[in-house]
């Protein structure tokens, strides 16, 4: 479970950092999303007809999830800026409520897209979608870990 959480966090951080850069990096983000979609499509075993309906909807789903991460109030607090200023309990309360509401919105979005996926895919393929997303996160985490160990070995 920790690996999946770490992979999700890493993916969110990667997507956030990519989105804040110039057009070259926007292209890298698009490429990363396309790679993820291709990976997931292969794992799901979609027919061409299913893929035609699924891919645009899934891209929209990814964008919404990305915006949810981007809007997280905890990520947007500049700790260094706030270090010298003590936040009031009311300010902490507002931050915490925004964070929780972001999680609720993410869950509601996931539910909404589940219902949309049901209109175009059988339940077995929706299940494969969720397993493929999980597998993709795991593979991404392994790549990062391998890259980190290769970097530390080369020093």
Tell me if 65 sits within 8 A of 111, measured CB to CB: no
Phi-psi region of 35 (alpha: psi -120 to 50; beta: other; left: phi over 0): alpha
Length of the chain: 155
Domain range for residue 41? 2-78+85-154
pLDDT single digits (tens) 109-124: 999 999 999 999 999 9
Q: What is the largest CA-CA distance in the chain?
A: 57
Phi first, then psi, for residue 58 (nearest 5°) are: -70, -35
pLDDT single digits (tens) 19-71: 444 577 677 878 888 899 999 999 999 999 999 999 999 999 998 887 776 66
Count structural domains, the chain.
1
């Amino acid at each position: 479970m920790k690996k999946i959480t770490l992979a999700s966090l890493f993916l969110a951080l990667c997507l956030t950092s990519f989105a804040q850069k110039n057009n070259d990096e926007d292209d890298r983000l698009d490429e990363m999303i396309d790679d993820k979609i291709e990976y997931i499509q292969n794992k799901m075993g979609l027919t061409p007809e299913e893929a035609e309906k699924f891919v645009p909807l899934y891209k929209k789903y990814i964008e919404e999830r990305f915006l949810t991460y981007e809007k997280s109030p905890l990520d947007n607090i500049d700790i260094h800026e706030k270090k010298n200023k003590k936040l009031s309990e009311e300010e902490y309360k507002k931050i915490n409520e925004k964070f929780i509401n972001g999680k609720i919105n993410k869950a509601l979005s996931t539910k909404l897209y589940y219902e949309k996926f049901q209109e175009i895919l059988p339940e077995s393929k929706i299940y494969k979608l969720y397993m493929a997303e999980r597998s993709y996160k795991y593979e991404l985490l392994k790549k990062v870990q391998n890259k980190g160990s290769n970097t530390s070995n080369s020093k």
